Structure 1
Amino acid sequence: MTISMIDSASGMHRVLTADAQERDDLIRDLWHPMAGMYHFIPGGVDMAAVHRQNFGFRSDSAIERVSEGLEALVAADAWARVENALEQGMAALASADPGVRIPDLNVLLVLGDPTSRHFVDEVQGMSGFGGISGYIAITVWPTVRVLDRLEAIAVHELHHNVRYSPGGIVWDPQTVTVGEHVVAEGLADVFASELYGEAGYTHFVRDGVRSDDRVLAKVAGGLGVTGMADFAAWVLGDSSARLFGAEPVGLPTGAGYAAGARLVRAYLDATGSTAAQCVHAPASDILRIALPRLGLTRARPAARLEDL
């Protein structure tokens, strides 16, 4: 198991100090080690577009602010902290299950777009992707809260990566359910909390949402929804759904994370297991035990939260 931390500090510095017309190509260079994520797309993808889709900083605005953000990440020793956290997370998973297969990792830490209100305000400066085996991309804006959670953010994505690596759960975009996504987010958050306490829980979930039974019941009503087009609404919430062109369902930001953590906690309490041990546990098994313990069934989705 090896961790290859991309030297994105140097890469971002090159982008930020280059002439404007050169920046997109330098962003492509920055993301090039991650191109293998898209091996299944004939001809590959434009990695500058991938950067934008992941809320990456813009090449044509706020350059001075992004430069200040880079200074903050460097001062926080962000790259070493992420690498150390991933090593600790790998050790925890291997200790929980000596037979677990942990892939070699390419890891990219980049700054997000400080001009995006959704990125800064709604998801509070954090976007991570670890669902393709061998690759983790983390986009951040270095607020105090984000910097405090860097380690937890990294191991959250590590749990996803191992879950969807060969020998684990198969994510089929056509047939995967909201239930799988919600359970995966819950497992990853609880795993991070096993290592880092309360800091493990995704911070863009608003106060009160984690304990709101109406939110939990609403998400439970959508667990059987299939196809990734609708996942933003059920997992990330209505604001993200609108941003990505999906239909809102009446849920606050981070609802799926909040519900997922409660469902996973109920399962772990019932089975005496840990999220580290359950990295490959089928969502159906977790939901079969967790739902009745929380007084829930897979109900038909309600149109809006207020309908409950």
Structure 2
Amino acid sequence: MAVVHTLPVLYRLNERLKEQGERKVEIHRDMICDSLKEFFPEFTAEEIQEELLSRGLFDPDEGATISETLMGLEDKKVWKIVQHELNHLKQLWNGPDIPIFIFPLTKHRPIVDGAKVKKNGVSYNNVLFLFVCEELEIVELQALLAHEYHHICRLSYLDKSPQEIDLLDTLIIEGMAEFAVEELYGERSLSPWTKGYSQEECSNLWIKYFARAIHVKDVDNHFPFLYGNEVVGLPKWIGYCIGYRIVRSYIENGGTTDHLLLSRTPSYKILEGSLFKGL
């Protein structure tokens, strides 16, 4: 499988919601989520809808007004660009063949560093979703795909369920993905959270919060460490910054820069070769 051509379904959804707005939640779910149940056999369409909405999928209220966004994405040849870049990444990283679904990003999105977020992605073991808006630049789209597809490659190596993945794995997954983006598209394509905190700040927070928690399993339990929880003292995006610094310092200390070998290096070995060893 490859990039799924979601445009026809999205245009039909747009038309149906214009005509039958009173059933918008059901129509949105039926046309988008029912066909995804093969990738999430343990979840209902309602649960899939809730999950994707939480990740950035446009909501049912927006469905009747997405035609302009769809035309903008089509004019930018987003589906074609993603397919071309996917072919390149698969060959470069010897990555798995998985389906990629592209949907408009919700307009109800946060503001980061003074600007509205223009993209988001989410990777599961067997499928990848990209949520994008028409203002997205091509290099931003490429970086988003590379970041998420690298997750797919790393998850394929780990071969663990989300419940089996520990915090160290999650930190390394994020750090590796950003290192890959940096190598492919340059430092300017790095996410801002990679430089949000100094090495000293990261080291102190590692000692205080992370070192004793690296074996905590289940990705749902990792969210406070990744996104932050200021109530308990974890600043925003700290886990992403620490993950990148672990991988970057491992490489600077002589670790492999070969992406195929790096993606197949155990997490504990990367930690041992980093500046965070022994902290």
User: Which bin holds the TM-score, normalised by the shorter protein?
Assistant: 0.7 to 0.9
Alpha carbons 1:16, 1:63 under 8 Å: kept: yes
Displacement, 1:265? Answer: 1.6
Aligned: 1:226 with 2:216: yes
Counterpart-to-counterpart distance in 2, 1:141 and 1:212 = 34
Counterpart amino acid of 1:160?
Answer: H
In structure 1, the residue matched to 2:151 is 160
Alpha carbons 1:268, 1:274 under 8 Å: kept: no
* Structure 1 runs not aligned, ≥5 long: 95-101, 240-246, 299-308
Counterpart-to-counterpart distance in 2, 1:91 and 1:188 = 16
Counterpart-to-counterpart distance in 1, 2:113 and 2:256 = 38
TM-score, length of structure 1 as denominator length:
0.75
In structure 1, the residue matched to 2:30 is 28
State which of 259, 262, 279 in structure 1 corresponds to 2:242.
259
Displacement, 1:202? Answer: 2.8
In structure 2, the residue matched to 1:192 is 181
Displacement, 1:212? Answer: 5.1
Alpha carbons 2:28, 2:63 under 8 Å: kept: no
State which of 138, 141, 146 in structure 1 corresponds to 2:133.
141
Displacement, 1:199? Answer: 4.9
Displacement, 1:79? Answer: 0.8
**Taking structure 1 as reference, are residues 124 and 195 closer, same or farther at Cα in structure 2, changes over 3 Å only?**
same
* Structure 2 runs not aligned, ≥5 long: none
Counterpart-to-counterpart distance in 1, 2:256 and 2:162 = 31
Displacement, 1:83? Answer: 1.1
Alpha carbons 1:13, 1:67 under 8 Å: kept: yes
Displacement, 1:13? Answer: 1.8
State which of 4, 7, 10 in structure 2 corresponds to 1:9.
7
Alpha carbons 1:234, 1:249 under 8 Å: kept: no
Q: Percent identity?
A: 17
Deviation by residue 1:202-223 (Cα, 9 ceiling, x = unmatched) = 35x28x5054531354246415
- Greater helix fraction, Structure 1 or Structure 2: 2
State which of 97, 102, 108 in structure 2 corresponds to 1:109.
102
Alpha carbons 1:164, 1:171 under 8 Å: kept: yes
Counterpart amino acid of 2:210?
Answer: G
Alignment of 1:209-248 (within 5 A): 209=196, 211=198, 213-219=200-206, 221-223=209-211, 224=214, 226-227=216-217, 228-238=219-229
Counterpart-to-counterpart distance in 2, 1:22 and 1:142 = 27
Helix, strand or coil for the counterpart of 1:60?
A: helix
**Taking structure 1 as reference, are residues 17 and 159 closer, same or farther at Cα in structure 2, changes over 3 Å only?**
same
Alpha carbons 1:219, 1:234 under 8 Å: kept: no
Helix, strand or coil for the counterpart of 1:105?
A: coil
TM-score, length of structure 2 as denominator length:
0.82
**Taking structure 1 as reference, are residues 60 and 79 closer, same or farther at Cα in structure 2, changes over 3 Å only?**
same
**Taking structure 1 as reference, are residues 33 and 154 closer, same or farther at Cα in structure 2, changes over 3 Å only?**
farther
In structure 1, the residue matched to 2:159 is 170
**Taking structure 1 as reference, are residues 61 and 111 closer, same or farther at Cα in structure 2, changes over 3 Å only?**
closer
Displacement, 1:200? Answer: 4.4
In structure 1, the residue matched to 2:69 is 69
Helix, strand or coil for the counterpart of 2:261?
A: coil
Root mean square deviation of aligned Cα: 3.0
